Amino acid sequence: MSLSDISVDNGRSAAAVWALAPLLMLGPLLSCGIPGVMAPLFIGCALVAVSIDSWQRRARPDIDRGLATLFGAFLAFGIASIVWSINPEHVLPKTIQLILNFGASALLVPVIGRMGTADFKRIGVFLMIGLGLGLAMYLSEVADGFKFYDLLRGGSDHDPIDSKQNKAVVLSALWLYLAFAFFFLRAGWRKRVIFVLAAACVIGITIFTHSASAQVVLLAVIALTPALLLFPARTGALLTLAVSGLIVATMPMIALEIDARVEWRNSSVLNDSIKSRIEIWDQAARRTREKTFLGWGLDSARAMPNRGELSYLAATRPYARYIHHLHPHNGPLQIWFETGAAGAAMLVFLFALFARRLCAWRDTTGARFGTFIWAVAFLYTLSIWGIWQTWFVSTLCFAGVAAYAGMRRLALEHSAVR
């Protein structure tokens, strides 16, 4: 597949698609050394695309009102938390970062909705180019001992190997999942062959990575895919809402139960990374019970009382004495800790909005794909990074917008545009 075989049937949107090209083609590659660039890349490309679309239409930018309402409510609550936050100096900067990410997403969705078939072909090609560049860079890094990573980090070759691998591996996998709607579903055999080869590469680098979290997510995705295909589209969306909503609602209880019932301290099966997560989950859950309804304040996890009090690991692993988690490594639990039951309820409302739109989507293949990406993104929030790391928020926002593009492409192919 080359750029030359793309016909133009919507020239007005083509410029907006090209504005997104740097994001689509460079995300996985840059994640090998500077994943933090994902935030300015997403926000910048999105705002340029929105500006181009608005200028060409000679109209003000449109905005997705449902997303804007929920995002606005959460951000207003986050700003208000400065009153009771234990880390008030971080509330406003984090709110500004979230406004930029959430705002770019809500503005970009209507732009995607105006794109045509040729635009989505371009997006698919750009995604696959991005995946190819990312895989090439990652394999080069493995062969060279991660020199690119160390160079950009100022020679920090003491970083754990999984820290050098996990972002690149996970973002490559995400690009693969997003490309599924463009290079496999309702696609020709050549595109499917390319997709299968890319999938084999992603599975291979994930198997041989040192990141247990990336491997667990891959196994969950492999198990999840046939499960979603077995259910009707509406049932799959509602089931995903029920499961993800239940996990969000009960995450503090789940964390406490894991610590109480799993003999993780003396386990020879669980590695130190998993053990440290179980311990920090327990600490965060116990602190959440102290301020159940409003939480400790937006972006306050880094100031968690007794943070870094890793009693077991500090006593048995010398390096663990220097581990001071900046977050619980669990999105729902971090939202509970920082914004309490109020923030958790808003997250469930956001999931309900996703489910409502997926249930109303007339193309069942597109609805299943949207549900699949939703489930994958939720899995990413459960164990790897802090939910408010700016690059990670941008990645999740990008995944949502790209999933919508995939759904639109499938709907157009099926002549079932909403």
For 120-141, how does the pLDDT look when each residue is reduced to its tens digit (9 = 90+)?
999 999 999 999 999 999 999 9
Work out the pLDDT band at 100, boundaries 50, 70, 90: very high
Work out the pLDDT band at 89, boundaries 50, 70, 90: very high
CB 20 within 8 A of CB 49: yes
31 pLDDT above the threshold of 60: yes
Taking the C-alpha atoms of residue 366 and residue 202, their distance in angstroms, rounded to an integer, is: 23
Q: Which residues touch 135 (CB under 8 Å, ≥6 apart)?
A: 28, 172, 198, 201, 202, 205
Work out the pLDDT band at 5, boundaries 50, 70, 90: very low
Q: Which residues touch 166 (CB under 8 Å, ≥6 apart)?
A: 209, 211, 213, 214, 384
> Tens digit of pLDDT for each residue in 225-245?
887 778 899 999 999 999 999
> Tens digit of pLDDT for each residue in 339-392?
999 999 999 999 999 999 999 999 999 999 999 999 999 999 997 788 999 999
Exposure letters 11-35 (e unless 16+ CB within 10 A, then b): eebbebbbbbbbbbbbbbbbbbbbb
pTM for this prediction: 0.92
Q: Which two tokens stand for residue 137?
A: 């860079």
CB 88 within 8 A of CB 82: yes
pLDDT at 319: 52
Question: Residue 253: how many CB atoms within 10 A of its CB?
Answer: 12
207 pLDDT above the threshold of 70: yes
161 against 376, higher pLDDT: 376
Taking the C-alpha atoms of residue 363 and residue 226, their distance in angstroms, rounded to an integer, is: 18
Taking the C-alpha atoms of residue 398 and residue 164, their distance in angstroms, rounded to an integer, is: 22
Question: Residue 367: how many CB atoms within 10 A of its CB?
Answer: 23
pLDDT at 308: 54
Q: Is 147 exposed, middle or buried (0-12, 13-18, 19+ CB in 10 A)?
A: middle
pLDDT at 148: 84
- Average pLDDT on 187-211 reads 95
Taking the C-alpha atoms of residue 120 and residue 181, their distance in angstroms, rounded to an integer, is: 10
42-51, 54-63, 256-265, 314-323: range with lowest mean pLDDT: 314-323
Q: 374: closest CA among 344, 353, 360?
A: 353
190 against 317, higher pLDDT: 190
